[in-house]
């Protein structure tokens, strides 16, 4: 295997500090906060991207004092942020952390929040910039936004800003997404809302646009004349991990495909934006979503496969069937795997199938985009059986080893004309000396600086649901035998492979070591 030269590139861009702000985290005692948000904030501080004029107010029902909560944050940072914490940086960081006990339904709690915000604005000179992060179950998104609005905490002045961050899931169908958008817009403007998808903070996801539009190498052949099909895979080895009660009401289509995978699809398929500006990029993604061919019931039957994992083995660990997981309905019809074929009806992607698959308890944890190019037929090589070679494939690896891989044909050394597949491989950790950021660092930094580029706009979100709703509606009344099974530790049900076989194609085989 050939690899690119491993030397770090020079940083030439001017680095901007985040804006001063007070960040309020609703659900501050939850897993998202301790595992993702505080480690991401610490890493921003470690990389000298976090303003000195910054603080965090955690809020929740637990009766923490400021001191007790700070001690908890220190322990969480040691576990999830870094194995070798800098004592001085930890001290600087936790001095800026506060906790407010409160009830999200109680207006008095928001009055107390306002008072504490006034205090920390003065203490830390945050310029009255406030970032409200809803790290709560989705049922609380609307009510918290309502209370913030009624308390006057979302009103913006010329010299300060107020921003609202909403985690997924954002609705569970088109109707609920429209209703939630309407509710949020009763308290804040669309320009104040940041609908976060941590996948869009991953280095290779962001690199899709650089790869396509800055280098000029592949963009001329990024179309139906040269590309045979595109495959997007998001595979997890974990099952529901004790979250069966939540997951059983969601499923793989809502949990992964409607948001994460559609966003990756849009970046892969969109037209070159005139400028790298938030609204221009989001308009380009919107055009992709609008061009995706909608499915009728007969299309769902042909082009969508849903399945549940049965018992199996991953490594040496025995995995119970999904229906045997705690808090899962023993007769559940919820899918833990979904594969589908989509078409984008525009000039660039005419008749090019996009195959998407995602699932839990699969053979390997990996996320990738595989661009399969058309096979070239050259008379000179007809007697070499090149049809037995795999087509050239460009692979953008999103996780766990962020990077880019190109598989192509080459002559085997020797006097006989013989061809085989070779690879060129680029890995972030080899070239830049470190793995890319986990996603939240980038997204929090962008929120603090008012950059919407990597966040979902309301119209894009609703368009996504309009693609998914016909599938959900068909499944709601479909026969039970349309839900297939697959052994835990496999790559999914045979019906998924059959869907591609009918097109004389197959899923890319993902080796265990890539």
Angstrom distance (rounded) from CA 463 to CA 259:
11
The dihedrals phi and psi of 282, each to the nearest 5 degrees, come to -70, -30
Q: Could you say which of 124, 260, 484, 504 is catalytic?
A: 260
DSSP 83-146: SS--HHHHHHHHTTEEEEE--TT-HHHHHHHHHHHHHHHHHHT-TT-EEEEE-S-GGGHHHHHH
Partners of residue 83 on adjacent β-strands: none
State the helix-helix crossing angle for 458-477 and 174-184, rounded to 10 degrees. Answer: 150
Angstrom distance (rounded) from CA 183 to CA 206:
31
Nearest to 201 by CA among 8, 459, 456: 456
Q: Is-catalytic flag, 66?
A: no
- What length does the chain have? 514
Angstrom distance (rounded) from CA 12 to CA 206:
18
In 314-361, which ranges are continuous DSSP H helix? Answer: none
Angstrom distance (rounded) from CA 486 to CA 494:
8
Nearest to 198 by CA among 168, 237, 177: 168
CB atoms within 10 A of CB 447: 23
The gap from C-alpha 493 to its chain's centroid, in whole angstroms, comes to: 24
Is-contact 511 342, C-beta < 8 A?
Answer: no
Nearest to 368 by CA among 202, 153, 179, 168: 202
Print burial letters for 423-445: b (CB count within 10 Å at least 16), e (below 16). eebbbbeebeeeebbbbbbbbbb
Residues belonging to the active site: 260
């Amino acid at each position: 295997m050939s690899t690119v030269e491993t030397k770090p590139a020079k940083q030439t861009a001017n680095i901007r500090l985040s804006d001063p702000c007070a960040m309020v985290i609703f659900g501050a005692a939850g897993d998202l906060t301790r595992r993702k948000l505080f480690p991401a904030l610490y890493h921003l501080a470690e990389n000298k991207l976090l303003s000195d004029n910054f603080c965090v107010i955690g809020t929740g029902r637990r009766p923490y004092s400021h001191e007790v909560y700070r001690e908890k944050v220190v322990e969480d940072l040691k576990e999830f942020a870094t194995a070798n914490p800098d004592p001085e940086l930890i001290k600087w960081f936790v001095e800026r952390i506060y906790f407010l006990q409160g009830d999200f339904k109680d207006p008095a709690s928001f009055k107390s929040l306002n008072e504490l915000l006034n205090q920390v604005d003065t203490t830390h000179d945050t310029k009255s910039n406030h970032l409200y992060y809803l790290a709560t179950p989705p049922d609380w998104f609307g009510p918290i936004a309502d209370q913030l609005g009624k308390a006057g905490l979302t009103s913006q002045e010329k010299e300060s800003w107020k921003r609202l961050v909403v985690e997924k899931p954002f609705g569970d169908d088109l109707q609920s997404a429209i209703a939630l958008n309407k509710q949020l817009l009763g308290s804040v403007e669309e320009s104040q809302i940041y609908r976060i998808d941590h996948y869009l903070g991953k280095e290779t996801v962001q690199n899709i646009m650089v790869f396509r539009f800055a280098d000029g190498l592949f963009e001329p052949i990024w179309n139906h004349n040269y590309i045979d099909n595109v495959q997007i895979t998001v595979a997890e080895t974990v099952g529901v991990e004790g979250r069966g009660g939540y997951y059983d009401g969601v499923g793989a289509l809502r949990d992964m495909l409607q948001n994460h995978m559609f966003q990756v699809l849009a970046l892969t398929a969109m037209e070159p934006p005139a400028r790298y500006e938030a609204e221009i990029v989001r308009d380009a993604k919107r055009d992709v979503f609008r061009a995706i061919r909608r499915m009728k019931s007969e299309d769902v039957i042909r082009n969508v496969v849903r399945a549940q994992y049965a018992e199996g083995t991953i490594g040496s660990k025995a995995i119970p069937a999904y229906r045997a997981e705690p808090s899962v309905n023993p007769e559940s019809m919820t899918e833990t795997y979904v594969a589908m074929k989509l078409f984008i009806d525009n000039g660039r992607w005419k008749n090019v199938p996009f195959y998407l698959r995602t699932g839990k308890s699969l053979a390997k944890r990996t996320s990738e985009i595989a661009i399969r190019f058309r096979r070239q037929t050259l008379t000179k090589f007809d007697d070499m059986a090149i049809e037995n070679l795999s087509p050239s494939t460009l692979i953008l690896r999103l996780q766990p080893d962020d990077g880019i891989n190109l598989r192509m044909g080459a002559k085997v050394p020797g006097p006989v004309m013989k061809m085989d597949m070779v690879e060129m491989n680029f890995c972030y950790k080899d070239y830049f000396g470190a793995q890319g950021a986990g996603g939240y660092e980038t997204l929090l930094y962008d929120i603090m600086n008012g950059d919407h580029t990597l966040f979902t706009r309301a119209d894009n979100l609703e368009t996504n649901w309009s693609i998914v709703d016909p599938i959900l509606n068909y499944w709601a009344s479909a026969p039970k035998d349309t839900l297939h099974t697959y052994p835990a530790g496999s790559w999914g049900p045979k019906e998924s492979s059959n869907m591609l076989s009918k097109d004389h194609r197959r899923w890319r085989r993902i080796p265990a070591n890539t």
